[in-house]
Chain A
Amino acid sequence: MNELSKTMAAAASGMVAQSARMRLTSENIANADTPGYRRKIVSFEEMVQNATDGRVVATGPVQLDQTELQSVYDPNHPMAGEDGYYDSSNVNLMLEIADSREASRSYEANLRMFDQARQMAGSLLNLLRR
């Protein structure tokens, strides 16, 4: 049973990490047109909580993507400079959508693992019930 609860802890940590990644992707997409916005990215790290809990995944610190901001020509924009250009965000929608797809795929895989551990624990308890 201990191994099974370790399994569920690892799967749950995976789901937490993937949903954090999904949240950042949504924030990036929502701010795709915010002038001066830099896309937020997060990296995953392996973490040992304590000896009995096994290894889980955790999100690292949120970082800002340091690539160049897109220059957009719009002389009527309130933030436009004298040449008519202003700095938009550096969000690439295609990249964000691919990232969120990957996050949701990994989330589902974790969920599947969690469910399987739950079923295994259930059949073990069934054996005791007889």
Chain B
Amino acid sequence: MDLNLNILRLASTLAAHSTARQAIVTENVAQADTPGYRARDIDAFSETLASGSVFIPQVTRAGHMTFGADPRGFGSQELAAFGAETPNGNSVSLEDQMMRSAESRQTYDLALGVYQKTMDILRISIGRNR
């Protein structure tokens, strides 16, 4: 049986996006004292969804909403310096990175929460207790 639930795919894509973001933030923190390193961040999730290249629409009827993107397709770009440019050309601000990491943690928890809730609803609908 293929339910093909878009919400599950959306949730897992969001989870993949926030882990990819966490990876890039950690990279920035690890390179916080490397001369010449420029801080980077991943493209926003909404942009990933909107851009056509990584977007896999699965539409069988006109009213269907299309969600879901290729988790490997997240682009990244340099951050605008956050007032943290040091004389050796490094643009990582630890405080800024901490904030970004907290954000990615929140969206990750949100994605897992949505996923879990959907599974719960599915379980109830087939007559099982959670």
Contact = CB atoms under 8 A, between A and B. Distances in A.
B94 A106 contact: yes
B101 A116 contact: yes
B60 to A, nearest CB: 28
B30 A6 contact: no
Interface residues of B, number: 28
A109 B27 contact: no
B97 interface: yes
A114 B101 CA distance: 11
Interface in B8-56: 15-16, 19-20, 22-23, 25-27, 29-35, 37
Nearest to B36: A46
B109 to A, nearest CB: 7
A116 B112 contact: no
A120 B98 contact: no
Contacts of B119: 130
Contacts of A112: 98, 101
Nearest to B15: A124
Contacts of B19: 3-4, 7, 120
Interface string A32-63: 00000000000111100000001111000000
Nearest to B130: A130
A96 B58 CA distance: 59
Interface stretch (A10-18, A71-79, A87-95): A10-18
Contacts of B32: 14, 106, 109
A113 B35 CA distance: 21
A18 to B, nearest CB: 8
A10 B26 contact: yes
Nearest to B109: A123
B80 to A, nearest CB: 20
Contacts of A123: 108-109, 112
Given A7-B23, A106-B33, A120-B19, 13 more contacts: A4-B19, A4-B23, A7-B22, A10-B23, A11-B30, A13-B30, A21-B33, A44-B31, A55-B31, A112-B101, A113-B22, A113-B25, A120-B105
The 6 A-B pairs at the shortest CB distance, nearest first, are namely: A14-B30, A3-B19, A44-B34, A113-B26, A7-B23, A7-B26
18 contacts: A4-B23, A7-B22, A10-B23, A11-B26, A11-B30, A14-B29, A14-B31, A17-B30, A43-B35, A44-B31, A46-B34, A55-B27, A57-B30, A103-B33, A109-B29, A113-B25, A116-B105, A124-B15
